[in-house]
Amino acid sequence: MKTLILRTIAPYLAALMMIFSIFVLLRGHNDPGGGFIGGLLAASAFAIYGIASGVASARRAMRFHPMAIAGSGLAMSVLAGLASILFGVPFMTGLWAPPIPGIDFEISSVLFFDIGVYLVVLGAITSVALALEERDDE
């Protein structure tokens, strides 16, 4: 799979897919999109990078172990749900911070939940994909 064309273009393609994945994640706040599909896009970015430049460099590019990323996402989602304990509303209730003047975007617990989902999907799928790619190298 290590053709010259793929190896040259993969870093750019992966970077582009990462940016697009974050766009899809944030767009999902009010429009179709969201953490799951964004996470899948980001995972495929790492998978492509792993195919082109080898699993070892994909792991280096991630800095953290994929499962650790998934764990941090899961923790973030649960904490976003547990935040409602402070406001006397049921578990998983969406909480919105007061709008900041001049910015057409409200920070909310829902957003953090979605970012958590993004990280879980990114970590879990990348971990499976890289494990399968590693097997081919042997």
Looking up tokens 């582009």 gives 16
The verdict on 100 binding another protein (CB under 8 A) reads no
In the complex, the smallest distance separating the C-beta of residue 67 from another protein, rounded to whole angstroms, is: 5
The binder of another protein chosen from 54, 94, 107, 133 (CB under 8 A): 94
Q: Which of 6, 27, 61, 93 binds another protein (CB under 8 A)?
A: 93
Helix (H, G, I), strand (E, B) or coil at 95: coil
Half-sphere exposure at residue 106, Cβ-oriented, CA atoms within 13 angstroms: 10
The residue type of 77 is S
Residue 25 binds another protein, judged by CB under 8 A: no
d(CA 113, CA 95): 11
72 contacts another protein (rule: CB under 8 A): yes
